[in-house]
């Protein structure tokens, strides 16, 4: 179809004639609403940054070296901008005795030893035998 025919057809429909592929022989054009086309292009170009929540599990009987390894992991996650959920799961008879205070101390000590600035999203929460807290970068 000639350019004049395409322009007349677009004007009749109240739309725009948009060149899609100018390098093709002959050039390819579409009859579309240009405002809607630009809006759809901008939506596909936008990248929504999703903040993931990474998880780290601790235990009451964790060794010092294991704590250091976990702390390095958490620091990497925070540096990338992720939230980190720290969980401490009580096992067996740990649930029956009063180890909840000790578990909270282990979590607090773990968070205090982290390098960099970070903050708690909320206080240490307990759900059954699991104590957890979510931390984020300041």
Contacts of 135 (CB under 8 A, 6+ apart): 74, 78, 83, 84, 86, 111, 114, 118, 119, 120, 121
Closest CA to 136 of 114, 107, 109: 114
Evaluate whether the domain defined by 3-45 bears CATH number 3.40.50.2300: no
Written as six digits, the tokens of 120 are 């708690």
The structure tokens listed for 9 are 């057809």
CATH code 3.10.129.10 for 53-137:
no
Q: Domain-by-domain residue ranges, the chain?
A: 3-45, 53-137
Kind and range of the H or E element at 133? strand 130-137
pLDDT in tens for each of the 138 residues of the chain?
888 888 899 899 889 888 888 888 888 888 888 888 888 888 877 666 677 899 999 998 889 999 999 999 999 999 988 999 999 998 888 877 778 888 888 899 998 888 888 888 888 898 988 999 999 988
Q: Is 0.85 topped by the overall pTM?
A: no
């Amino acid at each position: 179809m000639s350019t004049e025919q395409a322009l007349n057809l677009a004007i009749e429909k109240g739309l725009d004639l948009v060149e899609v592929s100018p390098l093709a022989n002959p050039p390819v054009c579409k009859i579309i609403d240009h405002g809607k086309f630009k809006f759809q292009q901008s939506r596909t170009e936008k990248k929504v940054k999703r903040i993931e929540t990474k998880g780290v599990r601790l235990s009451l009987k964790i060794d010092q070296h294991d704590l250091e390894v976990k702390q390095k992991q958490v620091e990497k996650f925070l540096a990338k901008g992720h939230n980190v959920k720290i969980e401490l799961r009580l096992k067996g008879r740990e649930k029956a005795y009063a180890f909840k205070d000790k578990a909270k101390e282990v979590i607090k000590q773990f968070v205090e030893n982290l390098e960099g600035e970070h903050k708690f999203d909320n206080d240490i929460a307990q759900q059954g035998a699991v104590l957890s807290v979510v931390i984020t970068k300041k």
